[in-house]
Amino acid sequence: MIIDADTHFLPPDVYDYLGPEFEALRPRLTWDDSGLLVDVQFPGEPPRVPGATPLPPPGTGSRYRGTYYIEERLADYDKLGIEKQFLFPQLTATVFSYLVEPRLATAMAHSWNLSILNLLKRYPDRLIGGALVALQDVDGAIAEMEWAAANGFRAVIMDKVFPVHEHCYSDPLGNHRELWPFFKRAEELGMPLFLHNIQHGHRITNLLNYQFNGLDVLAPQEGQMSLVSLVTSGLLDDFPDLKFVFTEAGVGFIKPLVSHLDSVFNNEIVDYESEDAAPRFNYRKLEGGKRIVSVDDYKPKNKQAPSHYFRKNLFFTIETEEAELPEAVNLFGASQFLFATDYPHDDPGGRMKYKDVQLLAANPDISDADKALIRSGNAERLLAPVRPAAA
C-alpha cells in the first residue's frame, strides 16, 4: 500500500456550488478544446497588495488532464503503483487566499469541499479528502471544519503563512492568536492540519535588499518561519495533541534548523545595557538593541526544547531524491515522514513524480520497516477517521 500525501486536483465543477448570492463574484474558468485550463477570471478578486508577486493561474501541472478529470487521474495512479491519494486543490488555479472577502472565501472553500465530497463518495477506497477553510473568518472556518469532519474528510488544508493586506510579507501563523479557537477545535476533532503554499507572492524576498547580487539566499523562508512560530508561540503547549503536516519542502532543512533552535532554547534574555551582559552575550536574546516590542511579546513561549515538537506534533512530506532523507529519518524517526509525489506539478518538488516509488524502494539507507511507515503506515495513522464532532 502506498498513500500519496501531496497531490493537486482541480475538478471542473469546483465553483459550481457557491449559490446565486456569489454568482457575480465567483471565479470563472476557461478551458481549451482539449479540456485543459487556460485562464481564470475572478471578479471577486481582492485588491492587489503593493509589492506582492502572486503566481498567475493556471499554474504548474496544468497541461496534465489528470489535474482535472478523476478517471484519467486514477489511471495515472495505477501506472504509478499508488493506491490512495490525499487531494489538495490546484492552488494557483483556485485563486483562493486569506485575502479574499471572508464570506466569499468561505463560500469558495465550501464549494471546493462539496465538489471533492462527490468524488469521495464515488471512490472511497482511492481518495482521501482534505477540507479547505477560510481562516480570515475563524468562526466560519470552525463550522466548515466540523461539517467536513462529519462528512468524512480526514484533514484540513491551510496556507503555510497568513498573508495580510497591510504589507507584502506574510505573517507566521503562530503570531495570529485569533486562530487559537480554530486550533483548539482541530485538536478536539483529531483533525490534522496540512500546511501548503496557497497565496504565493507574500515573501520577504520582495524586499529590495534581497533582490541583488544573490542576497536572496540569506532571506528567511516564510514557511519555515511560520512552522517555527507554531512552536515558539506556545501553540503546541496549549494544544499538545495538535498535528501539522508541512508539505512540499523536503527534509534537508530540518536538522540544521532544529539544531539551532535547540541550541538557543532557554537562553536567558540579556539586557543590552547591563554591565555584566558581555559574558552572557547572545545576539538573538539581547533585550536592548533589536527588541522593539514588549519582552513578553519578544520571548519564545514553548516549554519544551523545539526538537520535542518536531518529533511529536510536526510531520513532513518527503522528496524521495533528497540525499538528506535517511539522516532525517534516523534523527527524528520514520514516524514523522509521509510519501508524496506532488502530482501533477512539474516544479522541483514534483519533477520526480514518475520515479518516486522506485526511488524510495531503492534507497539502501532506509530500512524496510521505515519505508513501510513512510509509504502508508504514518498516513493511515494520521488520517484515520476523525473523532465524533461533539461541540
Alpha carbon separation from 139 to 26, 144, 181, 253, 389 (Å, rounded): 22, 9, 8, 34, 15
Q: Give the pLDDT confidence of 246-258 residue by residue, as tens digits.
A: 999 999 999 999 9
Q: How confident is the model at residue 290 (pLDDT cuts 50, 70, 90)?
A: low
- Average pLDDT estimate for 135-158: 98
Checking DSSP bridges between strand 314-317 and strand 244-246, what pairing results, if any?
A: parallel
Say which range, 152-161, 269-278, 294-303, has the weakest mean pLDDT: 269-278
Say which range, 113-122, 245-254, 268-277, has the weakest mean pLDDT: 268-277
What's the pLDDT score for residue 11? Answer: 97
Q: Give the pLDDT confidence of 155-187 residue by residue, as tens digits.
A: 999 999 999 999 999 999 999 999 999 999 999
Nearest to 355 by CA among 391, 321, 326, 378: 321
Residue 178, C-alpha cell as written in the block: 485569533
- Average pLDDT estimate for 93-108: 96
Q: Which amino acid is at 33?
A: D
* Residue 119 · residue 153 · CB < 8 Å: no
Q: How far apart are CA 153 and CA 147, in angstroms?
A: 9
* Residue 341 · residue 356 · CB < 8 Å: yes
- 132 phi and psi, to 5 degrees? -90, 140
Distance separating the N- and C-terminal Cα atoms of the chain: 35
* Residue 186 · residue 177 · CB < 8 Å: no
Classify residue 318 by burial, with Cβ atoms within 10 Å: 0-12, 13-18, 19+.
Answer: buried
* Residue 35 · residue 68 · CB < 8 Å: yes
- Mind giving me the DSSP string for 57-93? SS-TTTT-GGGT-HHHHHHHHHHHT--EEEEEE-HHH
Q: How confident is the model at residue 60 (pLDDT cuts 50, 70, 90)?
A: confident
Q: How far apart are CA 188 and CA 256, in angstroms?
A: 32
* Residue 163 · residue 128 · CB < 8 Å: no
